[in-house]
Amino acid sequence: MGARQHLAIIGDGAVAAAFLSVARLVPGDRLTLIGPNVHRFGAGRFYADHDARHLWRLAYMLDRPNGEMTEGFADWLAAEWPVLLPEIAVAQPLHVRRWSEALSEGAFGDFAAPRAIYGRYLARRSSERLAKLVEDGVQVQLITGLATDLSRADDQFRITLASGEVIKADRVDVATGGPANQRFGVDAGPTAFTTLYDNEEAIARVLKPGWEVTCLGASTEVLDVMHFLRAAWPTQELRLRVLRDRATPALDGDPEYRRLRAAGRIVEEVGRPIWVYAESAGNVRLRITGKECQSQEKTVPLAINTAGPGDQLLVDILISGMIAKGWLKLNSAQNRIDVGARFATDMDGVRYASDAVAILNRRPEGVVRQRVEELVGSFEGDPIETA
């Protein structure tokens, strides 16, 4: 019998859950999970829930029907529906009305549920996997924290947390980081926001009745802004302007978006923001390139960057350190990170996967929105090309 191994997984989202699902552990081995939301392991930030006091709780929906998500989700949703229905109906009654036809037919795979509900399912799957590992004799530890450094010393890896605590492990799987929204100069200020997510409370505080909200770009984040505004201000008439310079099937395919657009509540403007400057609250200056590549300037009261992934990486201090050490290689052509087969890094014993990985970023919507089964296949040895 060989020496027992200690595996650490850094991150707590869907990619980390895929690492967990393929972890090869035997009785006596140790497993440590590290992340800021590790007790909802599998949900991560993208599928996270909001506090019950937030009017926009459960507002954000999946961008694909339930039946196209992780295997078993639609069946789980159907089984849990008697408990979930009152919760969703109280938080977002418009959702239930939108799904009425599918629900009347019992077609739980045909509509898109709230993302937080899917996150709950992923977390439960991970919890069941952890329980099975414990039953099999694996020692499991969950650490709520942020990993800030990964180093190698005496045949072991040292994971340093923001608290100063050091965790030693024999193998490490890292699942943090990804691309950031395309930026447009100084596009942050009192009423200008680089992203909707984690800025909901700030937006709710500054938005005035009657203001039109401008979406800088036409990614699927526009749908989240639409749902957020309708949930946060149910008595106010939604007024949304979308700067759009390309075809966006996800928007055109959403029936609620089409309905509000037909009613004039959502206005589309052909153009692409190239510069944004938030002078003061209610005074955001935009420079826009239009149809004929001519630029114009205008002022709007509130703007939210919904451009989608751009040419910048959103990596934390841990990943920055791994790049500096040469463990991870930047792909300069795509401004992403290259990895080897099975997501191997240039340090033996360390794997890395996230939306920052070059080959996965080419797939629609990146890593986080893939089915977990697709990720598992990649982790188990499907070929990974690099540019």
pTM of the model: 0.88
The answer for residues whose C-beta is within 8 angstroms of residue 77's C-beta and 6 or more apart is: 66, 84, 108, 113, 117, 121
Confidence (pLDDT) at 250: 86
Instruction: Report pLDDT for 293.
Output: 65
151 burial via Cβ count (<10 Å: 0-12, 13-18, 19+): middle
Q: What is the pLDDT of residue 379?
A: 60
Among 262, 259, 261, 271, CA closest to 240 = 261
Determine which helix (DSSP H) or strand (DSSP E) holds 153, and give its type and residue range: strand 147-153
Strand arrangement, sheet containing 295-300 = 272-280, 283-289, 295-300
pLDDT at 167: 97
Which phi and psi angles does 253 have, rounded to 5°?
-85, -5
Angstrom distance (rounded) from CA 232 to CA 259: 19
Q: How far apart are CA 296 and CA 298, in angstroms?
A: 7
Give pLDDT tens digits along the chain (387 positions): 456 899 999 999 988 998 998 899 999 999 999 999 999 999 988 899 999 999 999 999 998 899 988 889 999 999 999 999 999 999 999 999 999 999 999 999 999 999 999 999 999 999 999 999 999 999 999 999 999 999 998 889 999 999 999 999 999 999 997 767 788 877 788 999 999 999 999 999 999 998 999 999 999 999 999 999 999 998 888 999 999 988 888 899 998 999 999 999 999 999 989 999 988 999 999 999 876 667 889 999 999 999 987 767 777 899 999 999 999 998 877 778 888 888 899 999 999 988 778 665 444 344 444 455 566 665 655 433 333
pLDDT score recorded for residue 2: 54
Burial classification of residue 55, based on how many CB atoms lie within 10 Å of its CB (0-12 exposed, 13-18 middle, 19 or more buried): middle
Q: Give all domains of the chain, ordered by start, each with its CATH number.
A: 6-60+114-179+313-379 (3.50.50.60), 183-307 (3.50.50.60)
Distance between CA 280 and CA 278 in Å, rounded? 6
